Amino acid sequence: MRVPLDAAGEARCQRLMADLLLIDLHQHPVVLPDAPARFTEYLRGASYRWGFEAVRAGGWSTVATANAFRAAARSGDMSFVDFDDLVDELAEMLGDVRASAGVGVVCSADAIEAARANGTIGFLPTLEHLGIGHDLRRLDLLYTMGVRLAGLTYAKRNLLGDGLLERSDAGLSELGVAAIERMNDLGIAVDLSHAGHTTALEAIACSRAPVIFSHNASYTLRPTRRTRTDEELTLCAAKGGLIAITAVPNSLRDDPAQDIGCVLDHYDYMVRLVGVEHVGIGTDTLIGDHVGYHRVMMGRSGPDAFPTPYLNGLESPADGSNIVRGLIARGYDDAQVRAIAGGNALSYFRRVWK
């Protein structure tokens, strides 16, 4: 589905897309098998196929790669991934990117701009979940491998702090505070997308550099444990942080027929709450059956049924330009579209990266 525009809107979209910096701050650009039942087998396997064509079709300039699928399949839970599995997956991706034409690893704001200028797709090495255990030296290894953005926790408690599904919501540990300090020193953006409420507030307070919610949405519009409160969002923005909007099916609505409109509602709300300069894109899309993936990975802990099988208009990275079309349809001007599409992300990286 393409978001419909009138003739003037269509002309604007074509003009903007011609030189637009379009950055997805949280994407899984991996091609999954057609049969959901084979997801775990595939994820535990020896190699992936990366969706370079889908990323290019979506108009993306740079995508943050959100590595962790294989590590999660091997450990059984994203919250307890093994560091060696993360490194293995990351190393494979880096090798595949460097061996592929028209794609390149980007680890700086200048490299992101250069990639856009020469028509190369930028792959920004990113971790869904840091997974360093008790060893802070592993942060230096990840930085050396190009990681410039990483999730502090996943849903459950790790040695750094509590995730958003942990019943205690106890916040950061002393090790977590030290990890944030080291990430600040190196220039790795602290991603709080899966952090518990108290963990997020404490991380915002103790981080010297602005933090990021790379794939979240508004609790006010969608009150779940996965969305973020106005308090968290405004404090993040007040310290120069960035909030990027997710597009996972069934995460923003319970309707049996969901489309990109529910995603755009959260852009509208976030712009009103924190200002357009603190809003970005973090689709959390992948190439395959997203809901089928959830059924397999959640197993018995998942719901008996999901309301919709997909989110129409934003199903995969190939639908990226629909966000631009949607913002135009919602009345955003050219400067606002450019800011949300990637300008804000680039400015955020310049504030955080060394």
Segment 146-195, tens digit of pLDDT: 999 999 999 999 999 999 999 989 999 999 999 999 999 999 999 999 99
Which residues fall within 8 angstroms of residue 134, CB to CB, at 6 or more apart? 159, 175
Task: Report the distance separating Cα 252 and Cα 249, nearest Å.
Answer: 7
DSSP string, 159-172: SSB-BTT-SS---B
* pLDDT tens per residue across span 52-109: 999 999 999 999 999 998 898 888 889 999 999 999 999 999 999 999 999 999 999 9
| Percent of the chain residues past pLDDT 90, beyond the cut | 88
Q: Which three-class secondary structure state does DSSP give residue 1?
A: coil
Buried b (16+ CB within 10 A) or exposed e, 177-200: bebbebbbebebbbbbbbbbbbbb
DSSP string, 165-204: T-SS---B-HHHHHHHHHHHHHT-EEE-TTB-HHHHHHHH
Among residues 228, 172, 207, 347, the alpha carbon closest in space to that of 277 is found at 347
Per-chain mean pLDDT for the chain? 95
Pick the CATH number of 7-352 from 3.60.15.10, 3.20.20.140, 3.40.50.280, 3.50.50.60: 3.20.20.140
Whether residue 169 contacts residue 201, with contact meaning beta carbons closer than 8 Å, is answered with: no
Whether residue 207 contacts residue 213, with contact meaning beta carbons closer than 8 Å, is answered with: no
